[in-house]
């Protein structure tokens, strides 16, 4: 007899890592609704509604706004493989692991890649981007990560956007960990192409990558000389499935789209400004608590990403031991460091449904306990008082 697996019963986890994060029961209920065919008239209407909701959350009027089938990295690849042709000169801004990933994909597209780099934990300097344009000549696009998930940096965008426009280049933005959690104005900030993921501040399970392209970017796609190197992510075909033509391309993940539609409605019911304020307050409370325990943040003040808080691990504290303690004793998941910060940082996701006052207070206490198990005593009382001061004014 083979092993009997029984019914699937995942244990409880409080997801406070870099994603996925907590999901509203409303979203899970929507995902368990009756499945329809991917060309059913009723489902096609749900697709239209999802696109309309995405435009509101992206703060754009772009017609070409839709969720790609795949995780946030599929969004990244969609933007780059559709806009880049072999031999194109592109500037990729790298200040963390996901900037490195963009650079890798651009190279695989056959681009001549120019890197503008900042040390991990620091933002990209607009002056460095300007110098790269001055030196490079004709550049097709410049791409930057708005919310660098590996370091907790929130990258200012408007200056780089202005530089891109000055040199006639497309401006491409990774908003995987910012969409729905911090201010992102696609049209007002002059972003030509932008992509995200569902499992971060939108608080939906992973599986879709919202993207938006303005008319300028769509024209570049439609006038390509070479075929897009990825058949599956080729927007010249996919836009005909999501558009009026409804030409079959691939079977859409129907129930995931149900979930995204519901998650976007939750975002808009709360209101974008109120949602951004909530994320900011919870992040500030957590940071004050961390600092009261004598710890520090990776990102400098003024560039801290509210949805992803990267904490520097103090000397003498072992990363994995603390995270294992949190998981075993509290059912809490936080993320470890990536790239240059592997073993040196904890990445705490306070986004979407996970961005709550009670989660902040619980996590501060749990972290103090975890460090205490290794002989690093932290004043948990002061930490919680510092966090509550943010909430109570």
Residue 393 pLDDT: 84
Q: Model pTM?
A: 0.97
Mean pLDDT of 120-132: 98
Give the per-residue pLDDT at 1: 57
Residue 64: predicted pLDDT: 98
* CATH code of the region 25-269: 3.40.640.10
> How far, in Å, CA of 187 to CA of 59, rounded?
7
Q: Which CATH architecture has domain 271-392?
A: Alpha-Beta Complex (3.90)
| CB atoms closer than 10 angstroms to residue 98 | 23
Interatomic CA distance for residues 198 and 53, integer angstroms: 13
- Return the sign of the alpha-carbon dihedral for residues 31, 37, 41, 47: positive
pLDDT > 70? residue 327 = yes
Q: Which two tokens stand for residue 219?
A: 């024209």
What is the mean pLDDT of the segment spanning 22-42?
Answer: 96
**Taking all residues of the chain, what is their mean pLDDT, rounded to a whole number?**
97
Contacts of 359 (CB under 8 A, 6+ apart): 14, 16, 282, 350
Q: What is the pLDDT of residues 129-185, one digit of tens each?
A: 999 999 999 999 999 999 999 999 999 999 999 999 999 999 999 999 999 999 999
Q: Please tell me the distance from the alpha carbon of residue 341 to that of residue 347, in angstroms, as a whole number.
A: 10
Judged by DSSP in three states, 115 sits in strand
Residue 150: name the closest of 194, 104, 101, 106 by CA: 101
Q: Where are the domains of the chain?
A: 25-269, 271-392
* Side-chain half-sphere exposure of 23, counting CA atoms within 13 A: 20
Structure tokens, 188: 């007002």
The predicted pLDDT at position 247 comes to: 87
Is 294 a residue whose pLDDT tops 90?
yes
pLDDT for res 3: 80
pLDDT for residue 2 is more than 80: no
pLDDT, mean of residues 232-255: 92
**Which one-letter DSSP state was computed for residue 33?**
S
Give the whole-angstrom CA distance, residue 266 versus residue 198: 13
| HSE toward the beta carbon, residue 363, CA cutoff 13 A | 33
Q: How many residues in the chain?
A: 393
The DSSP line for 288-342 is HHHHHTT-EESSPTTSB-TTEEEEEPPTT--HHHHHHHIIIII-EE-EE--GGGT
DSSP strand pairing (296-297 vs 308-312):
antiparallel
The phi, psi pair for 110, rounded to 5°, reads 90, 15
- The DSSP 8-state label assigned to residue 353 in this structure reads G
Q: What is the DSSP string of 235-251?
A: HHHHHHHHSTT----S-
The average pLDDT across 205-216 equals 98
End-to-end CA distance of the chain: 63
Q: Which two tokens stand for residue 378?
A: 């932290």
Per-residue pLDDT of 336-364, as tens digits, reads 999 999 999 999 999 999 999 999 999 99
Instruction: Please say if the pLDDT value at position 206 is more than 80.
Output: yes
For residue 113, how many other CB atoms are within 10 A of its CB? 20
Answer whether residue 13 shows pLDDT above 80.
yes
For residue range 252-284, what is the model confidence (pLDDT) as tens digits? 999 999 999 999 999 999 999 999 999 999 999
| Cis-peptide into 20, omega within 30 deg | yes
**CATH topology agreement for domains 25-269 and 271-392:** no
């Amino acid at each position: 007899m083979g092993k009997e697996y029984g019914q699937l019963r995942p244990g409880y986890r409080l997801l406070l890592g870099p994603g996925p994060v907590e999901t509203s029961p409303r979203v899970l209920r929507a995902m368990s609704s009756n499945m329809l065919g991917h060309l059913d008239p009723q489902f096609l209407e749900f697709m239209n509604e999802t696109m309309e909701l995405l435009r509101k959350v992206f703060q754009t009027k772009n017609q070409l706004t839709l969720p790609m089938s795949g995780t946030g990295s599929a969004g990244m690849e969609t933007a780059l493989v559709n806009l880049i042709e072999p031999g194109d000169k592109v500037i990729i801004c790298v200040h963390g692991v996901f900037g490195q990933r963009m650079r890798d994909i651009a190279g695989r597209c056959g681009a001549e890649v120019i890197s503008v780099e900042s040390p991990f934990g620091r933002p990209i300097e607009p002056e460095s981007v300007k110098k790269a344009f001055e030196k490079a000549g004709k550049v097709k696009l410049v791409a930057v990560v708005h919310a660098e998930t590996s370091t907790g940096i929130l990258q200012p965008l408007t200056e780089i956007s202005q530089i891109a426009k000055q040199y006639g280049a497309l401006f491409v933005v990774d908003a995987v960990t910012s969409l729905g959690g911090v201010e992102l104005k696609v049209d007002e900030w002059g972003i030509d192409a932008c992509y995200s993921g569902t499992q971060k501040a939108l608080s939906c399970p992973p599986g879709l990558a919202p993207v938006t392209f303005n008319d300028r970017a769509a024209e570049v796609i439609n006038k390509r000389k070479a075929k897009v190197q990825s058949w599956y992510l080729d927007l010249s075909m996919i836009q005909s499935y999501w558009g009026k033509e409804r030409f079959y391309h691939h079977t859409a993940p129907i129930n995931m789209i149900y979930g995204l539609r519901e998650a976007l409605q939750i975002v808009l019911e709360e209101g974008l400004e109120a949602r951004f304020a909530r994320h900011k307050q919870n992040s500030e409370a957590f940071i004050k608590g961390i600092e009261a325990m004598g710890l520090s943040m990776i990102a400098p003040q003024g560039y801290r990403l509210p949805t992803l808080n990267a904490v520097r691990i103090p000397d003498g504290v072992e990363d994995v031991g603390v995270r294992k303690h949190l998981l075993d004793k509290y059912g809490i998941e936080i993320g470890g460091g990536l790239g240059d910060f592997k073993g040196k940082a904890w990445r705490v996701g306070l986004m979407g449904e996970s961005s709550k006052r009670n989660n902040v207070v619980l996590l501060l206490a749990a972290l103090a306990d975890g460090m205490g198990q290794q002989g690093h005593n932290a004043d948990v009382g002061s930490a919680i008082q510092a966090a509550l001061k943010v909430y109570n004014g």
